[in-house]
A and B are shown apart, each in its own frame.
Chain A
Amino acid sequence: MKPADRPPPDLAALRARHPTYFAPLLAGRAGGLAAAIAPLLLLLFGMAWLGFFDGRLGRGMGKLGEMAVMMLPPDPGSWARAKIYSLALVETVAIALLGTMAAAILAFPLSLLAAKNVVANRVLHFLTRRSLDTIRSIDTLVWALIWVNVVGLGPFAGVLALMTSDLGTFGKLFSEAIETADRKPVEGVVSTGASPLLRLRFGILPQVFPVIASQILYYFESNTRSATIIGIVGAGGIGMHLAEQIRTLELQQVSFIVLLILLAVMAIDWVSAKIRFAIIGRSNTRKE
């Protein structure tokens, strides 16, 4: 018998016969509704407050459609411009690479201070954690503006900005990885009378290296995306060209640049997936 041919169940009769099964269902549903209504009301209030319902949304959508049509087909204008954009893209990737590497190198010693199982000083632990949180809660673009004050306009400021804001993130992530490391290998190394440095090198590092490496790779990808906008405040990369072309409404060039960025990010995703697999695969065989 196909489901459609079955007579529909008489819900009212079922409800009358098995009240013990239906009562908790209704109560659960009422609770769920109550929990959903407050966020929904806040959402509607927020949308009204931010101007969703005063007609601008509809008018803007029309304009957005026009702009989308004007973006096609992607066209750099001339070969010279295509070359400038490609070089800027290389610069963007370079900024992301250097920023991520520098942040990782600086964050590792800091994360040791922030890890409870390496440095057992509570005051030091607390101070390191809070400073890392403070660094992290300021956006990369603000750091870029501050570094522009120090080293001047240009990609170097971008590298330093990415480095600073990732320092906070890496410090937190690395210290968490170190804290979850297994104690037994460390105890094994200690039992041979090794110094603290050797304890770190042979007890902790082999365990956390794959985790840390894959986090670094993941942030390299995400930093490539951040580095594409850092140029908006004059800190190098393709962002400057992108913002300029958007503001002057050269929309075909905008879509060309966006396409370049998409391709670059896809290529980096692919490469970092390969590297990640190589590192994690190797460390798995090492554990056996």
Chain B
Amino acid sequence: MRLRPLLDGYARAIAARRMRSLLSLAIGLLCVWLAAQSAEVDLWKLFENFHRLPSYFIRIFTLDSGRAVWTDPVEWFWGLDRWAGQLGETILMAYVGTALGAIGALGLCFLAAANVSPQRWMRIAARRFLEICRTVPELVFALVFVICFGLGPLAGVLAVAIHTLGALGKQFAEVVENGDMKPVDGVSSAGGHWMVAMRFGMLPQVLSSFVSYALLRFEINVRGATIMGFVGAGGIGQDLIEAIRKFYYTDVSAILVLVVLTVFVMDFLTERLRHRLVDMDGQR
């Protein structure tokens, strides 16, 4: 008998929670419905045309003679030399872009971190700058740079570098904010000025995380660099979009296979490198 009020209270609490969950679900569904109106979602059209997706994939893996591509790899990868060169350029673009962006981020992250930033206005300016760099999409920068620097990989690299600067700058600043302030205080109390305090107080703690984040960003940038060619900014994207637009079906599959393989290899290598780095940190 005495349990009754407790059970009632429990039931009421559960009912209130359910009510709130249902309400947020309803709001979410309303948002989805509105978004579906705006994005012209038409499930019937998807259902009617869905067969085209598998048939597209079957088509790109079929040679003009009607046989599957893997029966004649020489014919399939007829442009291997050309594509391999472009893939090399793509990787190089990702590497140079990541390196330049990381160097810039290394300079700005100490200004943007709340715990070590020398001046309030410097912190705000650095943060806003990094925000703009990472919010404007890479491809938009690439479009603008193609006008300024001409067609070719230079525009693509600069676009990758600026986006990397914004993304890594934020992540680096967060690492610095989580860093231990005691070494910095120690260097400052011994008379070292701000630069020295950062170099010997903060940098040794955060460097391995910086390298790890930069390697992750390199992986992302390899993917990003594959589409720079869509706007004429170098790499394999140029041939890929031409093959898709002009319906060179087997070229599409050949380039996609090469891109996927390259991304796999790069992911594998950077992951190995990051594990080595973590192990080295553990030994210290």
Binding site for B on A (CB under 8 A): 2-4, 6, 39, 42-43, 46-47, 49-52, 56-57, 60-61, 63-64, 67, 90-91, 93-95, 97-98, 101, 133-134, 137-139, 141-142, 145-147, 149-152, 154-156, 158-160, 225-226, 228-229, 232-233, 236, 242-243, 246-247, 249, 254, 258, 261-262, 265
Cβ < 8 Å to A, chain B residues 125-141: 131-132, 135-137, 139-140
Q: Is there an interface contact between B144 and A246, defined as CB atoms closer than 8 Å?
A: yes
**For the complex, what is the distance from the CA of A3 to the CA of B234, rounded to whole Å?**
54
Tell me the complex Cα distance, A156–B36, Å: 9
Interchain CB contact under 8 A, A101 and B41? no
Chain B hits for A46, CB < 8 A: 92, 95-96, 99
Chain A nearest Cβ from B93, distance in angstroms: 7
| Residue B152, interface by CB 8 Å | yes
Q: Is the interface of A mostly helix, strand, loop or mixed?
A: helix
B224-A139 in contact (CB<8A): yes
Assuming A51-B152, A151-B45, A154-B40, is B53 touching A138 (CB within 8 A)?
no
What B residues does A141 contact at CB under 8 A? 139, 227, 230
CB distance from A25 to the nearest CB of B (A): 13
**Contact, CB under 8 Å: A145 / B190:** no
- In whole angstroms, how far apart are the Cα atoms of A262 and B35 in the complex? 20
Task: Please pick, from A3, A56, A142, A232, the residue contacting B139 in the complex, using a CB distance under 8 A.
Answer: A232
Question: Using Cβ atoms and an 8 Å threshold, which residues of chain B touch A142?
Answer: 227, 240, 244, 256
**In contact, B149 and A155 (Cβ under 8 angstroms):** no
Which A residue sits closest to B152, measured CB to CB?
A51
Contact B40 A155 (CB under 8 A): yes
Q: Tell me, in angstroms, the Cα distance from A274 to B50 when the chains sit together.
A: 38
Q: A46-B95, A232-B231 are in contact. Are A150 and B153 (CB under 8 A)?
A: no
Q: How close is B152's CB to chain A, nearest CB, in angstroms?
A: 6
Output the nearest chain B residue to A6 by Cβ-Cβ distance. Answer: B191
- In contact, A67 and B147 (Cβ under 8 angstroms): yes
* B132, A138: Cβ atoms closer than 8 Å: no
Q: Give B59's nearest chain A residue, CB to CB.
A: A149
